[in-house]
Structure 1
Amino acid sequence: MTVHFFHTSDWHLGQLFHNYSRHFEHEKFLTWLLKQILEKQPHALLIAGDIFDIVNPSSASQKQLYQFLARAHEIAPHMQTLMIAGNHDSGYRIEQVDPLLEKYNAKAVGIIQWTEDKQLNLDHLILPIYDKNRTIVAWCVALPFLRPAEITGFNEHTQDNESAICYLHKTLIEEAKRRKTHEQALIVMSHAHMQGGQESDSERCIVIGNQDALSTDLFHKDVDYVALGHLHKPQKVGHTHIRYSGSPIPLSFSELHYKHQVLDIHIDPNQVTQDQITYEKLVIPRSIALHALKGELKEVFHQLENLPSEGSLPVDEREFVDIEYYSYTPPPLNLRQQIEELLPKQRYRLTRIMRKPVIKSEDENQPISKIDLEPPTPESLFEQIWENMGYDTDNQVKQDFLTLLHEAEEMQHKNTTSNEG
């Protein structure tokens, strides 16, 4: 039996892009996605984490999600929507609305649930996918972002993070294999950083402390497809059937040239291996243009003058402009005012103006290096302070700091989720 599903992830509903709302862009994406669902009628829609941009999403972004689910159920009542929590999501929050999700034939897996005898709640994490006749055509192992506090210390197999991750994958995949027939596909949906995955600068780092990027060896050879979330660039990792779908809109200017897409997947377990899966990339139209202007200050002014200037747009539909410039002399005090005067009115939104200082070589007309002044990370700040104190930053010191940082983030996450309750 062939299973047909869409793979998408990293919607980041509610994101503020340099304090500008992305609501319009997300609305255009969701409208486009509904058209694809209406036309293709998949058995399932898989959303592999980071549904929202923050753990306490705005009412507007929550409304946007639930209105989409309601409309999707209207046009494809047989389609299941299966989603998992990413590192930006509150797993407890997305599970709290389970009765509402059931109404729309949707299911959210936000946390790893354990039974009273410290065993995995298998039924919560292994989900059947049905066709229109309510026949099971596939099983989906749903693995939300794995926080150490939620997976360690439950039994002898979960004494540390690494062993817990191995135990979860092995136990769940083995149980899914036991449940499936040879005519049913086996899918794993996971929000994780996999070894070999290419990052952009908009992903929140989840490889911290002693938690390394995960190996694709965790996925048994009998798994037909792995639907990944977290990295925003669409890509295969190690094998053709292990893929990130990527984000539906560019979440930073580093993603300017990504071909944002939804993956349309068909799996026929009865076919030979090389022919059992077909992949179609459904390219998402970009609703708002991004312009990255870079160069010497005079060149940037020239690029500004050459931007299209005709027509005005509503505020939420105006195009984004990001500027990185370098200059051998201090910039004018009214630089921002000059730039804003060059930008056509009611057409663009200025996101950032960043100066990149240069060091001159003996030939004063040629820069020999440029220094990127991106906002410092906790790790870079620690290294700078540690070195200023006269100490060497060896690997063990860095690992100890990252472990403490990770524990602090976990405590903050716990406090946030407990406040939600």
Structure 2
Amino acid sequence: MKLLHTSDWHLGQSFFTKSRKAEHQAFLNWLLEQVTAHEIDAVIVAGDIFDTGTPPSYAREMYNRFIVAISRLNCTLVVLGGNHDSVSTLNESKQLVACLNTHVVANVASHDTNADTDSVQPSDNQIIELKNSAGATGAILCAIPFIRPRDVIQSRAGESGLEKRQALGEAIKQHYHQLYQAALTVRDEKQLDVPIIATGHLTALGVSQSDSVRDIYIGTLDGFAADGFPPADYIALGHIHRPQIVAKSEHIRYSGSPIPLSFDELKTTKQVVMVTFSGGETEAITPLEVPLFQTMAVIKGDLGTIETRLKAFETVPPDQPVWLCIEVETQDYLSDLPQRIQALTEEMPVEVLQLRRSRNTARQTLNQIERETLAELTPEDVFAKRLELENFESEAEQLRLGRIKQQFRQIVAEVENPEQVPESNFEPNSEPNA
């Protein structure tokens, strides 16, 4: 049994006003080639098929054409809903694509509630028997999409923020283990020697995020502890765009997004993950590198350095311009900076999608700290100095800065006056990189 694990396609994304249509189509064509070349039995897409809940028509058409194409390769496709996906959008064609060997699990479709625990029981359609090339069951899948709090718990009046986070974490853990037990029952009843696979679209604790990842479970759950996963043979995760192993466990992985969704994602190679099973044992876990279908680059330095580095793109074909992020380092505020950059690039086969100013305060701040003792600084002083090392120039970044400052003030108030700050007033949101 062979499967491919991918996630976070974000079909329909607009990147600084640029469409990703050509890149996504090239990726889907490449993915079909891998299915054929490696004789893949099943492809799992672990959430965020689309970039928004109302994707453009071309993105829906691309999705539908891919389903038709992969069905002709005798390969099962499993589509899991992510936090960007609209449940209704994915479900509108669910019954139709089921005729094309495609399983769509858009959300946790509950059908029963445990009166004792207020937890929701998993739906039967989340247990899927994946077929191999011979038409026999080659694996049992616990198909778990993005879990919304309302899907697995019932809120209680008077709960503190901590109690809500604990309740949600426990409910997600319970949902995973209930599905795993259901998969074990199927395997035992049918006496199958096959692996059990689980999926997920969430933030597992201890992973590295990128600028394009939007926080989920804001104010409720910052991350799900990896020890809450059941002992499945492979766990295919989505939501984090950088490919990585979770909690040093080779079988728990984020495949990452197939194309760079932000400039900081250029630091890592994009991949899908091929998993090979022999009977019920994992034989190999092999990342397959995804080609870069659109040349992108980040250039940092003063104007002279930037001009020099731009010369590397002189031989680029004019019909395939490089998308650039330029970060200018200068001690002076240049009011005509955009015009200067335009003059440097107007004859070049490049398109500047992001222009940033580097505040270049790191060295100045470090020199100042050397002359100060910690006793002379208040917590607010230390925090302010740390924020000076970050860039918060866009509107979204300014909103994020406001959330960070508000959270910091709440934390300081709670530490200094714990008896005056009710626990329920503190509901942190996830700001892992601040």
Do Structure 1 and Structure 2 share a fold, with TM-score over 0.5?
yes
Identity of aligned residues (%): 27
In the other structure, the counterpart of 2:44 is 46
Alignment of 1:14-413 (within 5 A): 14-74=12-72, 76=73, 78-115=74-111, 120-153=121-154, 160-180=167-187, 181-221=191-231, 223-238=232-247, 239-271=249-281, 276-313=282-319, 317-333=320-336, 335-343=337-345, 345=347, 347-359=349-361, 361=364, 370-375=389-394, 376=397, 378-384=399-405, 392=412, 394=414, 403=427
Give 1:152 shift: 1.1
Give the CA RMSD over aligned residues: 3.1
- Structure 1 stretches of 4+ with a deviation exceeding 3 A read 116-119, 358-364, 368-371, 382-388, 390-406
| Residue aligned with 1:12, SS | coil
Give 1:402 shift: 7.5
Output one character per residue of 1:126-177: Cα deviation in whole Å (capped at 9) or x when no partner: 111012333111111111111112221299xx99312311221111111111
Distance 1:326 1:400 in 2: 44
Amino acid at match of 1:343: T
Q: Is the 8 Å Cα contact of residues 386 and 393 (structure 1) preserved in structure 2?
A: no
Output one character per residue of 1:62-85: Cα deviation in whole Å (capped at 9) or x when no partner: 1111111111112x1x31100111
Q: Is the 8 Å Cα contact of residues 195 and 280 (structure 2) preserved in structure 1?
A: no
Distance 1:398 1:252, change over 3 A: farther
| Residue aligned with 1:139, SS | strand
Distance 1:296 1:392, change over 3 A: same
Q: Is the 8 Å Cα contact of residues 274 and 286 (structure 2) preserved in structure 1?
A: yes
Distance 1:227 1:289, change over 3 A: same
Output one character per residue of 1:6-42: Cα deviation in whole Å (capped at 9) or x when no partner: 1111111111111111111111111111111122221
Output one character per residue of 1:379-402: Cα deviation in whole Å (capped at 9) or x when no partner: 5314546889x9955479798677
Q: Is the 8 Å Cα contact of residues 209 and 399 (structure 1) preserved in structure 2?
A: no
Distance 1:370 1:404 in 2: 22
Output one character per residue of 1:339-360: Cα deviation in whole Å (capped at 9) or x when no partner: 2232255722211111122347
Q: Is the 8 Å Cα contact of residues 270 and 290 (structure 2) preserved in structure 1?
A: yes
Q: How many residues are aligned here?
A: 387
Larger mean CA deviation between 45-54 and 292-301 belongs to 292-301
Distance 2:243 2:402 in 1: 31
Q: Is the 8 Å Cα contact of residues 141 and 173 (structure 1) preserved in structure 2?
A: yes
Amino acid at match of 1:209: G
Q: Is the 8 Å Cα contact of residues 356 and 371 (structure 1) preserved in structure 2?
A: no
Q: Can you give the 5+ residue segments of structure 1 that lack an aligned partner in the other structure? A: 407-421
Q: Is the 8 Å Cα contact of residues 198 and 233 (structure 1) preserved in structure 2?
A: yes
Distance 1:402 1:31, change over 3 A: farther
Distance 1:347 1:240, change over 3 A: same
Q: Can you give the 5+ residue segments of structure 2 that lack an aligned partner in the other structure? A: 115-119, 157-163, 368-384
In the other structure, the counterpart of 2:372 is none
Distance 1:399 1:362, change over 3 A: closer
Distance 1:385 1:198, change over 3 A: closer
| Residue aligned with 1:277, SS | strand
